[in-house]
Structure formats: structure tokens, C-alpha cells
Amino acid sequence: MRKKLTCYIIDDEHLAQKILEKYVEKVSFLELKGSFESPLEAVEHMNEDKPDLLFLDINMPDLDGLSFIPMLNPKPMIILTTAYDQYALKAFDLEVKDYLLKPISFERFYKGVLRIYQELNPQHQTEQLEVNLMPKNEQEYVFIKAGTRIQKVAIREILFIEGMKDYLRIHTQKEKIMTLLSFAKLEELLPDNKFARVHKSFMVAIDKIDHIEKNRIRIADQTIPISNTYADNFYKVLKDFKD
């Protein structure tokens, strides 16, 4: 019988904690032993639980994750979870196993923990490990990094996404959300059977299209161009679309 990897989540953002808890729950070889809002809270329990793996945020009050790592003895394996990429070099100097940038997709999370598990259990490297993963095309919402917060966005409410130089503006039925995510990252998060890129600056929700005329899409009160680069793929997605 396979030994599960026991783990802790240490993150002062409640929503980020809950996302990671759901991810851990999906993976058959992970067992969550505790979630904590600070390293100081977690360390009180570590001697008893001796977790194999920490999912550790960096920027936290009282004690940040990078300062906490050298204090650990013995040191468990560590995956850093953060919204900031500037600490990556220092993190790997501390021999962390992975560095996950928020918002973290389940696919990226699973890739990281699977690599660790297979390093420890080489006999399972070619085995298809069980994972309770809801297909991306059946997701109801995504979590988007918007400024200093991680925001839950209902997929059914997204109308279209607009590129704004370094930002993306997500237009929903209720609000407009600005994020530093790239189109490539957003495409990883969104169901590919419900959204299509139609222009270098636009991605649309297929079921929100009112009409198309002369390579122009009308959604709500917005007219969106279809560029030649994306036209063939867009019309193929449109042909295959089932609401």
C-alpha cells in the first residue's frame, strides 16, 4: 500500500487556504494534517505531526515564509505558494521543491506534487495515479489574482476578456475585474469549450455572443473584432459549441 504524503498549509489568506485544501482533497497520495494562518501557529504542532510537506506562503505577518524555512529542523519538503515571482532565486537557494504562483491552477498544483511523490516512489513513475479531478470543462468558477486579493469569478458570468497592455480586463455581467494574468495563463484556467480567442486583445464567452456580422462579434453593448489570425479556430470552436 502506498504511503501518503502528510502535509500542512500555512497561509494567512483564508481563501488561498481553502483553495489548497480542495486541491489536496482531490489527490489520493496527499493527506492534510492541518491548515494554519502563520508559521508560529504551525510550529506548535509540527513536532507531533512531523508533516512530509509544507505548502508555505511567503508574505505573512509576524514571520515570512523565507525566514521560517532555515529555522526548521528537521526540515520537511516545501512548496512555496505566493503571488510574487521575485523571490524565486532565493527560494531555490533554500532548496524548496517547487514555487507556485497564485492564482494556482489545479493542473500546476498536481504536476508539482506528483513530481515529488514519484521522486520518493520511483516504482510509481509510470503508473497512472488516482486523482479526483473535475474536468476543466465542467468547472463553475475560477480564482483570479486581482490586485492584492484573489477573487472568485463565476464562469457563467464572464462575457469577454480584453487585453489592456500589461493587464487583462475581465468583463462579467456584474463588474469589470483587472488582473495581471496573461491570456496564456487565463486559457489554462478557463474551460476551452466555452471560450475562444478571437483577437490578440480579446477572448469571448461563446454562449454570450448576441450575433456575428462581417467578422465582428456583438456581446452586450460591445463590438469585438475577429482577426484573421484567430478566425479559423474561432469558427471551428463555434461550430462544435454545445450550450
Share of the chain above pLDDT 90, in %: 46
Fold of the domain spanning 138-240: OB fold (Dihydrolipoamide Acetyltransferase, E2P) (2.40.50)
pLDDT at 147 over 80: no
According to the model, what pLDDT value does residue 129 have? 47
pLDDT at 211 over 90: yes
Predicted TM-score (pTM) of this structure: 0.57
103 prior amide bond cis, ω within 30? yes
Q: What is the pLDDT of residues 154-202, one digit of tens each?
A: 899 999 999 988 889 999 999 999 988 888 888 888 887 889 999 999 9
Query: What are the structural domain ranges in the chain?
Result: 5-124, 138-240
Share of the chain above pLDDT 70, in %: 91
Report the CATH superfamily, name and number, of domain 5-124: Response regulator (3.40.50.2300)
What mean pLDDT comes out for the span 207-222?
Answer: 93
